[in-house]
Amino acid sequence: MALIPLEDSVADIIGKAMHGLQLSECEVASAAGVTPAAVASLRAGHFDEASARAIAPVLQLGAEALAALGHQTWYPQPVALTGLVCFTTPYQDMTVNNYLVFDPSSGEALAVDTGADCRSMLAYLTQSKLTLKLILLTHTHADHVLDLAGLQQHTGAPAYVGEREPLAGAEGFAAGRLFRCGTLRITTHLTWGHSRGGITYGITGLDRPVALVGDAVFAGSMGGCRVSYADALRSNRDHILSLPADTVICPGHGPLTSVGEERVHNPFFT
């Protein structure tokens, strides 16, 4: 199976940090002691380690992690976990992930997000003789909820979404609510900043703990902060990076990763 590419390049990471900190290329260059042209070149996708290391502290990014991403020497360890299945569907010019998590003993399952097309998920449910009991939404950006009606129509499962992001067809809830699915225990945490009401679902009951984070954190990066950069960094640290190191992180885009790997290899949090 082909590896899912990392969602963000060094250029993307630098752009997100500059946007979040509201710094221009000239301001970054002046503080780092490099030329504006060097910053512009990095943002255009031309990696230069010396320039990247120089601007990393200005952007509050980890220089070692940024350099490893620039040289493409890090990729998260593949994850194979019974009870966890990732589906990837195309949406416009990108791909988006959605997930099934199930209790192997009872066959009860929950979906986290729907992606742009739920047909692969429906086929897996049928082939594996699983019963979908819950649909949990990380946030309401279109790529993550586009096929909610289709998934509900075919399964009859109720859907839930954080109360800050109301959505037709889904019941709102306050972060902190506990869900159960078979022997699985699902906790809910407000990880906002990318969106106003993003929710991370922490699941225990499999061989490793799992955190389904939507666009809060990516392998080696994080979601663009459309609402609040400071709150995205804070809530990601408090509710995702604080989890046990072996926790599997299931992002809305890009490959699966783990809390332990992100503590070392994610420039935003190292």
Q: Among residues 196, 245, 249, which one has the least CA distance to residue 221? A: 249
The mean pLDDT value of the chain amounts to 97
Q: How far apart are CA 267 and CA 218, in angstroms?
A: 11
User: How confident is the model at residue 226, as a pLDDT?
Assistant: 86
pLDDT digits (tens, 9 = 90+) for 242-265: 999 999 999 999 999 999 999 999
pLDDT digits (tens, 9 = 90+) for 107-129: 999 999 999 999 999 999 999 99
pTM for this structure?
0.97
Find all residues with CB under 8 Å of 1, minimum gap 6, and list them.
none
Q: How far apart are CA 122 and CA 43, in angstroms?
A: 40
Q: How far apart are CA 120 and CA 88, in angstroms?
A: 9
Q: Among residues 262, 248, 158, which one has the least CA distance to residue 200? A: 248
Structure letter (DSSP) for residue 2: P
pLDDT digits (tens, 9 = 90+) for 144-190: 999 999 999 999 999 999 999 999 999 999 999 999 999 999 999 99
pLDDT digits (tens, 9 = 90+) for 37-76: 999 999 999 999 999 999 999 999 999 999 999 999 999 9
Q: How far apart are CA 230 and CA 79, in angstroms?
A: 30
| 8 pLDDT above the threshold of 80 | yes
Domains and CATH numbers, the chain: 10-70 (1.10.260.40), 84-265 (3.60.15.10)
Pair 7, 221: CB distance under 8 Å: yes
Token representation of residue 27: 């301001």
Burial class from Cβ neighbours inside 10 Å (0-12, 13-18, 19+) for residue 76 reads buried
Find all residues with CB under 8 Å of 67, minimum gap 6, and list them.
49, 52, 53
Pair 51, 22: CB distance under 8 Å: no
Q: Among residues 269, 270, 267, which one has the least CA distance to residue 12? A: 267
User: How confident is the model at residue 1, as a pLDDT?
Assistant: 55
Q: How far apart are CA 193 and CA 229, in angstroms?
A: 6
| 89 pLDDT above the threshold of 60 | yes
Task: Count CB-CB contacts under 10 A for residue 82.
Answer: 10
Average pLDDT over residues 87-101: 96
User: How confident is the model at residue 147, as a pLDDT?
Assistant: 98
